[in-house]
Amino acid sequence: MKTLHSTSGILFRVLLKSLVLATGLAMAAVPVLAHDRHHGGDSDRVTAEAEGVLEAIDADGRHVTLSHDPIPDLRWPAMTMDLPLRDPELASELEPGDPVAFTLEQTGETDYEITEIRALD
């Protein structure tokens, strides 16, 4: 009888731990799924929209330096950073100092590029 009680206690603890783990994993997936739904449901493409100030455009027009506001979708704080442009023509009408709105798309594990950028009125 003592062995049966020990076995059922171990089984109960294993099941309880499995349930807690499964619940935690399911809850962690909810924000990711909501983000994907918000951005078209393509889980391979993470995009985010933000605003900031265009600080500089590099000589070949392929990268810009932006001081941007926090980007909650990416959990990024406000910062200044260099970002590549998908197409150098995106910034052809912009000048350093312009307030801008832009869209970022993830291109690698930690890499992003600007797919759209426009001056704010």
**30 and 51 both lie in a single domain:** no
User: Mapping DSSP to helix (H, G, I), strand (E, B) and coil, where does residue 117 land?
Assistant: strand
User: Does 55 share its domain with 114?
Assistant: yes
Q: Is 104 helix (H, G, I), strand (E, B) or coil?
A: strand
Does 54 lie in the same domain as 2?
Answer: no
**Is the pTM higher than 0.75?**
no
Whole-angstrom distance, CA of residue 32 vs CA of residue 62: 30
Q: What is the pLDDT along the chain (121 residues), one digit of tens a residue?
A: 555 556 777 777 877 777 666 666 666 655 555 454 444 544 567 999 999 999 999 998 999 999 999 999 999 999 999 999 999 999 999 999 999 999 999 999 999 999 999 999 8
The residue among 76, 32, 36 whose CA lies nearest residue 52 is 76
Give the angle 8-13-16 at the CA atoms, nearest 5°: 120
Q: How many domains does the chain have?
A: 2
The CATH number of whichever domain residue 59 belongs to comes to 2.40.50.320
Q: What is the DSSP letter of 4?
A: H
Say yes or no: 85 and 107 in one domain. yes
* Domain containing residue 62: 47-119
Are residues 94 and 55 located together in one domain of the fold? yes
Q: Which of 59, 50, 41 is nearest to 116 (CA)?
A: 50
